[in-house]
Amino acid sequence: MRVLIKNGLIVNADGQAKQDLLIEDGLVKCLADTLEVEPPCETIDASGCYVMPGGVDVHTHFNIDTGIARSCDDFFTGTRAAACGGTTTIVDHMGFGPPGCSLHHQLAVYHDYAAYKAVIDYSFHGVIQHVNHAVLDDIPRMVEAGISSFKLYLTYQYKLNDDELLRVMRHLHSAGALTTVHPENDAAIAQKRAGFISAGKTAPRYHALSRPLECEAEAIARTINLAQLAGNAPLYIVHLSNGLGLDYLRIARARRQPVWVETCPQYLLLDDRCYEREDALKFILSPPLRNTSNNDDLWCGVVDGSIDTIATDHCAFSMTQRQQLSGGDFSRCPNGLPGVENRLLLLFSHGVMTGRISTQRFVALTSANPAKLFGLWPQKGLLAPGSDADIVIIDPKRTTTIHHAALHDNADYSPWEGFICQGALRQTFARGRLIFDNGTFTGSAGQGRFLRRNPFNAAHASGTES
């Protein structure tokens, strides 16, 4: 099966050119100023449109069981929504397993979750929920199985202490894996939270007030220093929400420490005024939304290169689930936002079309950099001969208003309801197959393949700076 995409502006992280692109057998076959191809070949006219590598979203939680609830998107509805938002690869953060379980336990569980369901290619980050010799010894076998990054939590039920953090980061580093961390100071949050709850202050605004940005920034600074102490282990901070944390990361970067950071559209474009709304429960997530001056700080990082990736942290609990479980009490509300379908267009509209970032930087943030950091480059994140034909076509002249009714996830609301985006997604191809076409999902469950990711590659990772 061949597809010729003609007359588009092909954008990669390192440049763009008006070229034709030929897809053959699921791969990018060739690019040239003008390509003429003998039939049979389907032709798509992309005049006036950007033709870009499909999005790589390295932070989702599909089908996650948090103990109080299971998220409402599984690997079918979640990847269907991703596909309709121009994302062609996801790397999902596994949830916690039973107490004391092995690393491979959750890998097997997640293979079962995703098999026959995923529409797009997928992989998983391992999760380290306790530390002992068996877990540490198992890390190299996980890397061999294609799991070359792991998540550590500094808060929640399975938070690691400093001793555990040091040991794990050392082992991950020597096994060729990247450490990713959810950084929040658990003790500080616990104190605040207990104070509010005992005073009967349980409205959604107290969710944000119980986790001030210093909780996150402190944990970022501590983790950076522990990573250095663990033999200069490479470190990736997830879902950065504030400017102070970014400043600590800039200091580390200036000292040539191997650290990278992700933010999410909600921390760039939503703010803590959401907690004053009548539907504030929709915006409970951790870290919480911050004020607009932090939005501005993060945009500076997106523009100046100190933020490396943009992911979604898609973790959807419906409004029905939120209300039923919490009764309006923040401390009982499941955390997380849907958004896997909205990432590319939000950043395209609010980043590229406003003139804040170039199209190349857009591709770096949404596709090339995550592929480089997480062992998928150059199969993913690049339009070049031999790369997977994972492609999104964006029309900058059209306008899209986000309405949940038109989205493809399984939630019952969107935090982006009513957002107006300059630009529209026209088509998504995954390994050469058309899976989204002008508003309609055209893929099918089970098309996505598990991606056995390569070990962390310092040379690729250092190519994320721009």
Footprint on this chain of Mn ion (rule: CB under 5 A)? 182, 313
Work out the widest C-alpha separation in the chain, in whole angstroms. 74
The residue type found at 42 is E
According to DSSP, the residues that pair with 407 across neighbouring strands are: none
Residues 392 and 114: their CA atoms lie apart, in Å, by 23
Q: Which is nearer to Mn ion, 183 or 448 (CB)?
A: 183
Identify which of residues 60 and 428 has a Cβ nearer to Mn ion in the complex: 60
Q: 272 or 313: whose CB is closer to Mn ion?
A: 313
Q: Shortest CA distance to 58 belongs to which of 286, 305, 309, 269?
A: 309
Q: How far is the CB of 344 from Mn ion (least distance, A)?
A: 19
Smallest separation, CB 316 to Mn ion (Å): 12
Cβ-based nearer residue to Mn ion, 330 or 429:
330
Q: Shortest approach of Mn ion to residue 245 CB, angstroms?
A: 13
**What is the closest distance, in whole angstroms, from the C-beta atom of residue 27 to Mn ion in the complex?**
32
Smaller CB separation from Mn ion, 63 or 379: 63
Q: b/e for 374-407, b at 16 or more Cβ within 10 A?
A: bbbbbbbbbbeeebbbbbbbbbbeeebebebeeb
Q: How far is the CB of 155 from Mn ion (least distance, A)?
A: 9
CA 335 to CA 330: how far, in whole Å? Answer: 9
User: Residue 322: exposed, middle, or buried by beta-carbon count in 10 A (0-12, 13-18, 19+)?
Assistant: buried
- The least CB distance from residue 43 to Mn ion, in Å, is 41
State the nearest-atom distance from the C-beta of 153 to Mn ion, in Å: 7
Question: Which residues are paired to 427 by β-bridges?
Answer: 393, 437
**How far apart are the C-alpha atoms of 355 and 364, rounded to whole Å?**
16
Two structure tokens written together for 383: 């339009």
Question: Which residue has the CB atom at the shortest distance from Mn ion?
Answer: 182
Cβ proximity of 259 and 458 under 8 Å: no
Left (φ > 0), alpha (ψ -120 to 50) or beta: where does 438 sit? left
Q: Which of 181/393 has CB closer to Mn ion?
A: 181
Smallest distance, Å, CB 263 to Mn ion?
A: 12
Q: Among residues 141 and 192, whose Cβ is nearest to Mn ion?
A: 192
Preceding peptide of 287 cis, ω within 30°: yes
Q: How far is the CB of 314 from Mn ion (least distance, A)?
A: 9
First to last CA, the chain: 36
Nearer to Mn ion, 312 or 414 (CB): 312
Residue 4 or 373 with smaller CB distance to Mn ion: 373
Q: Which of 328, 324, 411, 288 minimizes the C-alpha distance to 68?
A: 324
DSSP state of 357: S
Q: Which residues contact 104 (CB under 8 A, 6 or more apart)?
A: 138, 141, 142, 145
**Least distance from Mn ion to the Cβ atom of residue 315, Å:** 6
Contact 432, 29 (CB under 8 A): no
Cα–Cα–Cα angle for 93, 97, 99, rounded to 5 degrees: 140
| 404: its two tokens | 């949940």
CB of 287 to Mn ion, least distance (A): 8
For Mn ion, the closer of residues 262 and 390 by Cβ is 262
- Give me the least distance between CB of 286 and Mn ion, in Å please: 6
For Mn ion, which is the closer residue by CB, 218 or 313?
Answer: 313
Backbone angles phi, psi at 255, to 5 degrees: -90, 10
Distance of CA 240 to the CA centre of its chain: 12
Residue closer to Mn ion, measured from CB, 182 or 207: 182
